[in-house]
């Protein structure tokens, strides 16, 4: 659990546009610090959740259609959380490099009313507090687009207007946080995305500030 001074510094960094998280180049697998553009809240009571536990004890909880990553040679390749299987691997980030860790269990969970995600321009991914690499949500005009496959990057760039028109239908279900990270209803702690490299990585309101 983060102390108040640390949480205050994180809020200040986010508001000033200087908050950074680890992200991985999908081609080389090398991690670097990238700026967080936005924190996005998704209204997801219609989406089933899944808890994926790795053999080293790391966990990630997210909607079944959210993309995590597996190793694809040197780089990384998106894979839906619902498509994870025992014996496969998921990418974690350690010492500035992506590598695979085996999946020990995949447990279905009921939907959460709200889930949270980041928009991180560039590599379009970010490492959770426990090192598990999660896919970005892309934001155009405050509307979140869940990009499940890296091949969508180029189509998004070349068809931005069409993507925007399609996404506006979901705008009422997605809120872009532009005043900081405070969300008192859900208690304290934002280590799911920004804290020390320990503990659970959860893309849900349970530990999000």
pLDDT tens per residue across all 209 residues of the chain? 678 888 889 889 988 989 999 999 999 999 999 999 888 888 899 999 999 999 999 999 999 999 999 998 889 999 999 999 999 999 999 999 999 999 999 999 999 999 888 888 888 899 998 999 999 865 444 444 443 333 333 344 444 445 555 555 555 455 554 444 444 444 333 333 443 343 444 454 444 44
CA 112 to chain centre: 16
What is the reported pTM?
0.68
Length of the chain: 209
Measure the CA–CA gap between 111 and 182, rounded to whole angstroms. Answer: 23
CA 110 to chain centre: 19
Which of 3.30.930.10, 2.60.40.10, 1.10.3720.10, 2.170.16.10 would CATH assign to domain 4-186?
2.170.16.10
Q: Where are the domains of the chain?
A: 4-186
SS3 label, residue 82: helix
Measure the CA–CA gap between 43 and 204, rounded to whole angstroms. Answer: 11
Question: Beta strands of 64-142 (E only): which ranges?
Answer: 67-72, 75-80, 89-94, 97-109, 114-119, 125-127, 133-135, 137-140
């Amino acid at each position: 659990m983060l102390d108040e001074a640390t949480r205050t510094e994180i809020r200040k960094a986010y508001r000033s546009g200087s908050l950074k998280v680890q992200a991985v180049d999908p081609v080389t697998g090398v991690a670097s610090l990238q700026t967080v553009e936005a924190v996005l809240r998704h209204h997801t009571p219609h989406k089933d959740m899944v808890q994926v536990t790795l053999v080293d004890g790391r966990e990630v909880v997210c909607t079944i259609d959210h993309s995590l990553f597996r190793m694809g040679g040197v780089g990384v390749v998106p894979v839906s959380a619902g498509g994870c299987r025992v014996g496969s691997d998921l990418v974690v980030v350690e010492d500035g490099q992506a590598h695979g860790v085996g999946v020990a269990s995949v447990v279905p969970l009921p939907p959460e009313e709200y889930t949270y995600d980041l928009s991180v321009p560039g590599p379009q991914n970010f490492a959770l507090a426990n090192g598990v690499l999660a896919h970005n949500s892309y934001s155009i005009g405050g509307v979140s687009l869940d990009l499940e496959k890296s091949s969508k990057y180029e189509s998004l760039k070349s068809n931005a207007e069409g993507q925007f028109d399609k996404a506006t239908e979901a705008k009422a279900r997605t809120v872009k946080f532009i005043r900081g990270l405070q969300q008192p209803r859900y208690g304290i702690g934002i280590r799911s995305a920004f804290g020390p490299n320990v503990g659970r990585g959860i893309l849900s309101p349970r530990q999000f500030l």
